[in-house]
Structure 1
């Protein structure tokens, strides 16, 4: 049986440098533990050693090691569990009905037991099924392909354009630090002040009271103003916000392709600009031990776009001509091109997991593996999900 997996071990990581305005963006996401190998054993580099007795040079940015050190047996056991887990399948979103009970959402996850409770609940399964359905909606389609764009989709795009425009109105502040520009806090403060009015621009009268519940998901989708960082937990909040809109019927199944190819693509454009303009730190980054510093979902959606493509294979990410000419049409290629833009050095050294994925034989296996990995390495991690919110639309059951 052909292995659904990675075959090459990553080389020893080196601290990458970059040419962007922030000088450095490391190469992992909000991951705290194990990685699926999509079917084969993958060796991962040991954590880099610190500088005992001396301070690191001022240009050094440490690659952070995983916060949970597992024994080899536990590590292999968790890898095996991910490999054997079923691939998340698309689900229809369960619509809400009268009487409505919108409420301010709160944090409820504090332990692995809470994580298990969430994933065995109807809400947990339906949310993951919604992500899988979005992935399926873009399968084999380019970003520029014609798709149905409802009034709600166009309204959301207008809101995201407004957030982009705010960056031009709030330029980065002069400061000596290369990371975490304090002007981001002014941008985020405006977001908090105006989010409710932005939601009311597209909510129908009978659903305007839902603003109290959906605004917190929206405002948590663009990073943390105290830490001036962004990661896959914030990205998951954006997916949760979209899921809440789907629960209320504002977003419908016929909108899903536009939700990915228009809304999520615009969100990704916004977040990349935020990351570069305000030098956002990666939230919970662990250097080369993750998929990407900031995002996960564009790799899921982007791999779905490429399923059964006649010419492009996972290994095509190493072809510079393909990245240059087609990254505007495929999110996976766009994400790889962005990483190459902001990082110097060998791709296999600053992004070994993505390099390993390029050895998988086809995009269908990449997509199914990434869906399982998203569940295991994002939605099942307490350090990420402890910030996730629960109200009436996403119930704590």
Structure 2
């Protein structure tokens, strides 16, 4: 019997017993995830956050494995053991379609990591497909349907994608550990013991409710303190502007980009294949950025230098209705000699820590349900005043990003910069 052990700082021993799972780990598409950072640009703020999508996906698999093994043992009447492999494979592969600096890259080039994940799973040319199809001819499509939430068993789907699932639980614990903060810590073991499969999906026992509360608070804190950190967002904005400039220059300087960044050409042309996508990773992109530091275009070379050497933008929060002020500040930046299209930005980050099921909204969330001792099932916020406070309320802010140079009013543009500075007070924009 196969048994492989992966040592992991979050889960200690990650055991792989199924040869299909082990062979999936060894595919080139999954191994590519070693070269994709889990947190993208966040490591520029929290320097320990250098962990990869590879380690996260292994962690998600491990949590899913623990879930299905317990369900098979404790709830054989409501959990079918034949669902084990599709659940574990879906957990392992749920992020296999993530790319270099994935979220920033997606916004600029229109890629979709979930669609690409499904393509990797179902494309006969990939090693992932060739492993999955050994199970059965329709097994690749079954795993893909877990990713796109069309798999017929809601228990399987909710274990991989819901408001409290294997994915979220691993990334909160893992990101907390590597960024050196304590916000993302919660009692994983207690939550797993309180999970129960029912006909409509997954519920939690009443005795595990406080562990679930703790998880939701941890999630809220991680978003507010780590994922939405102003400096992390600043380097993300800088990366966006750098790629914006390269994309804008491509048509008139095609030969330059053919020489310095050939793997990006299909994306500049909006005509990429799955093979093109899989050639990109964070290391490839970083090499291109360093090459662009010597570009003859002053904006591209400057932005590349700022990104590579972490010369990040400053920022201030603003409220709705201040659009005229933002335009005025952009005009000041232009008067100093910087193109506001590349040296200022508006960045919005908001999160809904928890919400009840609202079928009328786009992409409605599953809700967390607690089963009572008498068998009745109640939505979590009906039982928890703490969760009721978080439910239905978005948290976050909008920030205006600009060059740090605008705060250095000791040059020929001192008057203009003083006017700019006068609109910033206590990290907020004021009229």
Q: Which has the higher strand share?
A: 2
Same-fold call, TM cutoff 0.5: no
Q: Which has the higher helix share?
A: 2
Larger Rg: 2
Q: TM-score, normalised by structure 2?
A: 0.22
Instruction: With a CA cutoff of 8 Å and minimum separation of 6, indicate the structure with the bigger relative contact order.
Output: 1
